[in-house]
Chain A
């Protein structure tokens, strides 16, 4: 069963605009990750945020985590057509706790129009 639920399911924006995707999860976590998938291909790891972190940046990506609300958001600033992809949040994968499996949400399909 899915741990995370992304919102919205689909998002269409123009190049240069910002895109915000949200993820909610059910149980306590040690970390939360975001992945990108281009059109039915492999997933690419974007960013990991630990449960004791509230915000993390990587290039044009900003991730926030609110453990009290069991939610996270991914912001992509100044979007480009190349950002068109599906974005997934994932929990688990905590090898320190011997949980090697990731539990994914259903994803947000982002379309950036040139």
Chain B
């Protein structure tokens, strides 16, 4: 099976812009989670989607949003970008039913100037 894919891999934006990141989970996986990784805060959970519904949400401002489509692909959007949003954004998928391991994609490196 193909692994989790994320696009784009690298992105440069300026403050105030918005960005959309995409994640395609492993075939058959219904849960997609998003994480933000920064040197200062480490790995932090953003949100999780399961069968097109947000099942869990981390402690991030409303500028961070996401959605999941019927084919389990997911997107996350960050509006009104701030310098502090520069990070590696990781997507992970899982079958989602009593299966605890998560399978991560390579990440999208976002730089906000």
Contacts and interface: CB of A to CB of B under 8 A. Distances in A.
B88 A40 contact: yes
A80 interface: no
Interface residues of B, number: 30
Q: Is the interface of B mostly helix, strand, loop or mixed?
A: strand
A31 B100 contact: yes
Interface string B69-108: 0000000000000000000101010101111111111110
B21 interface: no
A48 B100 contact: yes
Contact of B45 (A40, A44, A103, A106): A103
A103 B94 CA distance: 16
A22 B58 CA distance: 25
Interface stretch (A13-21, A52-60, A64-72, A91-99): A91-99
A2 interface: yes
Given A2-B42, A100-B50, A104-B44, 10 more contacts: A40-B88, A42-B90, A43-B90, A45-B104, A48-B101, A99-B56, A100-B94, A101-B45, A101-B48, A106-B42
Interface of B: 4, 31, 33, 35, 42-45, 48, 50, 55-56, 58, 88, 90, 92, 94, 96-107, 109
